Chains A and B, each alone.
Chain A
Amino acid sequence: DAKTTQPNSMESNEEEPVHLPCNHSTISGTDYIHWYRQLPSQGPEYVIHGLTSNVNNRMASLAIAEDRKSSTLILHRATLRDAAVYYCILSYLYNQGGKLIFGQGTELSVKP
């Protein structure tokens, strides 16, 4: 199974952009790249996902390298509420239920 590698922690200042990196050098051609975040004492929540092209939604942007071996989650203006653990995940067996295997994630702290 393809794995992801993320930094354990990152810091950001409020209202500045944040770039959260993820390496997935053994990604297969059919693996989607997903990002979830988990606020303290809550269940994870979906942020964004993509396959090959860059993706934007109201929460964030996902930039995917041309070779798909890495990706970056971009928060355009960090707020204090964005302090969370961010998980980069590859979907396995997509056609059999889309199960997601979580890694350790990156703990993002946001300073006022």
Chain B
Amino acid sequence: NAGVTQTPKFQVLKTGQSMTLQCAQDMNHNSMYWYRQDPGMGLRLIYYSASEGTTDKGEVPNGYNVSRLNKREFSLRLESAAPSQTSVYFCASSAIRTAGELFFGEGSRLTVL
């Protein structure tokens, strides 16, 4: 039982390059989330998807786009990466109606030079 799987685990980009972080969950959860965590900080919500076919902005959506490809997959795209987007990105999922128990992936460490 893999839970929440994120790829890639590490990535180095140059300013202006684009990339997509992939996230997949095998728990049949309805809701999925993308967070970022900067050094020494708590997590900040970028985007979330309450159910398949819907996405909503979180606290820090600027510079990102998301796609809820199907119930299992939720991707995060950086169209033109900036050094300020250097961070660890976490994907999470939850079954709607379970008072928010989130299951997190292991994180994707992104460095933008």
Complex interface: chain A residues within 8 A of B50 (CB): 96-97, 99
Is A101 at the interface (CB under 8 A from chain B)? Answer: yes
A100 & B102 in contact (Cβ 8 Å cutoff):
yes
- Distance A108 CA – B75 CA, assembled complex (angstroms): 33
B101 located at the interface, meaning its Cβ lies under 8 Å from any Cβ of chain A in the complex: yes
State which size class the interface on B falls in: 20 to 34
Q: Which of A24-82 contact B (CB under 8 A)?
A: 32, 34, 36, 42-46, 49, 51
Contacts A102-B35, A102-B42; A49 near B106 (Cβ below 8 A): no
Q: Looking across the interface, which residue of chain B has its beta carbon closest to that of A105?
A: B42
> Counting CB contacts under 8 A, is A104 at the interface?
yes
Are the CB atoms of A98 and B96 closer together than 8 Å?
yes
Does A49 lie within 8 Å of B99, measured CB to CB? yes
Q: How large is the interface on A (under 10, 10 to 19, 20 to 34, 35 or more residues)?
A: 20 to 34
What is the CB-to-nearest-CB distance from B98 to chain A, in angstroms, rounded to a whole number?
Answer: 7
From known contacts A44-B43, A46-B103, infer whether A98 and B49 are also in contact, taking CB-CB under 8 Å.
no
Q: Known interface pairs A102-B42, A102-B43. Does A36 touch B99 (Cβ–Cβ under 8 Å)?
A: no
B31-59 contact mask (Cβ, 8 Å, vs A): 1 or 0: 10101000001111100111100001011
A101 and B45 form a contact (CB under 8 A): yes
- Structural contact, B44 and A44, CB atoms closer than 8 A: no
Q: Are A99 and B99 in contact (CB under 8 A)?
A: no
Name 22 interchain pairs, CB-CB below 8 A, sorted by A: A34-B100, A36-B102, A43-B105, A44-B43, A44-B102, A45-B104, A46-B101, A49-B99, A49-B101, A94-B99, A94-B100, A96-B50, A96-B56, A97-B48, A97-B49, A97-B50, A97-B94, A98-B100, A99-B48, A99-B50, A99-B100, A103-B42
* B interface with A by C-beta (< 8 Å): 30-31, 33, 35, 41-45, 48-51, 56, 58-59, 90, 92, 94, 96, 98-107
